[in-house]
Amino acid sequence: MSELRITVDGEPLTGAAGQTIAGVLLTAGRRSWRRTASGAPRGVFCGIGVCFDCLVTVNGVPDVRACRRRAQDGDVVTTQAR
Ligand code: FES
């Protein structure tokens, strides 16, 4: 299985080809990466693209569901707060 590298808020993370961005984050030990307006932490809830709790910005595109987007080598991911 080939390896891929992404950055999340500037932190380099390594994943496996075929993993979602959420999968790479969870593998790295991250359980939450977004904050709601009230400041509550959010990460994966449904894992199937329904709840939108896992939103991140990928390569400048906001509101990408991390549980649905396969990580691509070189992706630049930034976390969102809202
Ligand atoms: S975890 Fe529910 S949409 Fe991603």
pLDDT digits (tens, 9 = 90+) for 32-61: 999 998 999 999 999 999 999 999 999 999
Best mutation site among 53, 63, 64, 80 for ligand 1 pocket (most ligand atoms within 8 Å of CB): 53
How many whole angstroms separate alpha carbon 1 and alpha carbon 41? 32
* Residue 32 DSSP symbol: -
SS3 readout for 38-75:
CCCEECCCCCCCCCCCCEEEECCEEEEECCCCECCCCC
pLDDT in tens, 8-40: 999 999 999 999 999 999 999 999 999 998 999
Set out the domains of the chain in order of their start, with CATH numbers.
Answer: 3-81 (3.10.20.440)
Contacting residues for 36 by C-beta, under 8 A, at least 6 apart: 42, 82
Best residue among 46, 63, 64, 77 to mutate for probing ligand 1's pocket (most ligand atoms within 8 Å of CB) is 46
Amino acid at 62: P
